[in-house]
Chains A and B, each alone.
Chain A
Amino acid sequence: MIALLSRDLALAIRAGGGFGLSLAFFLIFTTMVPFGVGPETGVLAVIAPGILWLGALLACLLSLDRIFQLDWEDGTLDLIATSPVPLEGLAAIKALAHWITTGLPLVLAAPVLGVLLNLPASGHGWLMASLALGTPALSAIGTFGAALTVGIKRGGLLLSLLVLPLYMPTLIFAALCVTRGAAGQEALTPLLLVGGITLGCLAVLPFAAAAALRVNLR
């Protein structure tokens, strides 16, 4: 399992691995927003929580189809399926690797982008907390979606169609948490709900992803 994780991380950092692409996308997406809605700081401050979370969500989505597709194409997935590593473990490790290469950089970069969008100072802590708690759920859900569509050629678009509705509750609670935090209101409840969704996803979805992988491998 540790071998799997370190290999996935090594692959992400090597040339063509796509490490940092999601982060760059997040950056570009956020800097495009003021061009779309105008530079008034008041408006930006109001929409910043939603925009930042949407950006994080789309940045996660961008790299989902790589999770299993490359291993599927070069035959590695077949070989791992015959190894002592259970597919449930593989799915969990893949989700973890995806989070480390995609979610974690977003969490760390978010405060900078929050400043760009004029997010009120009181919202920054909640933004980081909600991203730290919420992005693991995005990775787990995305891993499940990637496992469902691994056998489909050019399944990237279908993957987005399947995964985005599943992202809805996380987005709602997380954006609400940041909005309330920025406005100085009580924001702990939505944050805890985000944490609850994440824990639920981490507990259940690796099994669903492994079931989907087994079907796709046979």
Chain B
Amino acid sequence: MASIWEYANPRKFMATSAFVLPWIAGLAGVCLVVGLVWGFFFTPDDFRQGSTVKIIYIHVPSAIMAVNAWLMMLVASLIWVIRRHHVSALAAKAAAPVGMVFTLIALATGAIWGQPMWGTWWEWDPRLTSFLILFLFYLGYMALWEAIENPDSAADLTSVLCLVGSVFAVISRYALLFWNQGLHQGATLSLDREQNISNVFWYPLVISLAGFGFLFLALVLYRTQTEIRARRLKALIAQERMG
């Protein structure tokens, strides 16, 4: 019986990902071009925020993907801890820099948007601060991966860090809400979207969100392939040394 765990075999993963990667990358490109061009050039200006609102097509998807990347790392770490699938650990490792860059993009676009809107580049608002802390978590996670030589130990320790870090990230989020009621607007995307955003902005936003999602998937697949190749190389070198 075919099981999803088959893809935890590096060989199977390499073959499958080599097949799907071009399609996902293509989808990411198409969605990003359509979503961003539509959003930037074919939507009206907001009556309050003017054309600055258009940064939303980058800001919101990257913020959502920044959090989702961490969630994906959490799931991958759990799979590694429970089922010891090496590809899962490497996928978590591969996702971290991508998630970190999304976090940076969200922070940077937020600052660029915030300057004309709130008159300041940075505000110690709970949402902004949460993303800054998320950025620090990404940094620590990646630094731990880099610092440990034995790849299996590194996978174990970073998984433990990811699990513990996730709990603390959630606590930090609530601590920040308690600490300071911010000036960030409420969630743009939610189930009762009618109240927040009209269809004119909604469709291009969803398309660019899909584009960012596919982009993330493509980058993680690509980086996981690279990690697997690096591990194969390491195995070859180790074998060579032992003669």
Q: Which residues of A contact B (CB under 8 A)?
A: 144, 148-149, 151-152, 155, 158, 161-162, 164-166, 168-169, 172-173, 176, 190, 193, 197, 204-205, 208, 211-212, 215-216, 218
B160 pairs with A211, CB closer than 8 A: yes
Contacts of B156 in A (CB 8 A): 211-212, 215
Whether the Cβ atoms of A166 and B165 lie closer than 8 Å is yes
The answer to whether B139 and A168 have CB atoms under 8 Å apart is no
Q: Which residues of B contact A168 (CB under 8 A)?
A: 133, 168, 172, 175
Q: Report yes or no: A190 in contact with B178, Cβ–Cβ below 8 A.
A: yes
Between-chain CB contacts (< 8 Å), 27 pairs: A144-B164, A148-B160, A149-B147, A151-B148, A151-B153, A152-B148, A155-B147, A158-B143, A158-B144, A161-B139, A161-B143, A162-B143, A162-B161, A164-B136, A166-B164, A168-B133, A176-B179, A193-B178, A204-B167, A208-B160, A208-B164, A211-B160, A212-B156, A212-B157, A212-B160, A215-B153, A216-B157
Bitwise interface map of B from 131 to 161 toward A, beta carbon under 8 Å scored 1, else 0: 0010011011001100110000100110011
Q: A151-B153, A212-B157 are in contact. Are A169 and B139 (CB under 8 A)?
A: no
For the complex formed, measure the closest distance between the CB of B99 and the CB atoms of chain A, giving whole angstroms: 15
| Chain B residues whose C-beta falls within 8 Å of the C-beta of A166 in the assembled complex | 164-165, 168
A151 partner residues in chain B, CB cutoff 8 A: 148, 153
Q: Which residues of B contact A176 (CB under 8 A)?
A: 178-179
Interface 0/1 of B167-185, CB less than 8 Å to A? 1100110111011000000
Does B144 contact A165, Cβ atoms closer than 8 Å? no
Considering the chains assembled together, what is the distance between the CA atoms of A158 and B178 in angstroms?
29
Sample of 15 more A-B contacts, CB < 8 Å, known A165-B136, A169-B172, A205-B164: A148-B144, A149-B144, A158-B140, A162-B144, A165-B137, A166-B165, A168-B175, A169-B175, A172-B172, A172-B175, A172-B179, A193-B175, A215-B153, A215-B156, A215-B157
What is the CA–CA distance of A212 and B147 in the complex, to the nearest angstrom? 14
Name B's A-contacting residues (CB within 8 A): 133, 136-137, 139-140, 143-144, 147-148, 153, 156-157, 160-161, 163-165, 167-168, 171-172, 174-176, 178-179
Alpha-carbon distance between A83 and B160 when the two chains are bound, in angstroms: 24
Residues of A within 8 A of B148 (CB): 151-152
Which residues from A are CB-within-8-Å of B174? 169
Rounded to whole angstroms, the CA-CA distance of A88 and B161 in the bound complex is 17
* Contact yes or no, A161 B140, CB < 8 A: yes
Q: Give the 9 A-B residue pairs with the shortest CB-CB distance, closest first.
A: A169-B175, A172-B175, A215-B156, A169-B171, A165-B136, A162-B140, A166-B168, A168-B172, A152-B147
Residues of B with C-beta under 8 A to A149: 144, 147
Pick from B137, B140, B156 the residue with the most CB of A within 10 Å: B140
Q: Which of B143, B163, B165, B171 counts the most A-chain CB atoms under 10 A from its CB?
A: B171
Residues A173 and B178 in contact in the complex (CB < 8 Å), given A166-B168, A168-B168: yes
Point out the residues of chain A lying under 8 angstroms from B136, CB to CB: 161, 164-165
Residue picked from A144, A155, A168, A204, most chain B C-beta under 10 Å: A168
Q: With contacts A161-B139, A162-B140 known, is A172 near B160, CB below 8 A?
A: no
A165 touches B133 (CB 8 A): yes
Residue of B nearest to A211 (CB): B160
Query: Chain A residues near B176 (CB, 8 Å)?
Result: 172
A193 to B106, CA, bound (A): 30
CA of A152 to CA of B153, assembled, Å: 12
Expressed in whole angstroms, the minimum distance between the Cβ of B233 and any Cβ of chain A is: 23
Bound Cα distance A164, B140 (Å):
10
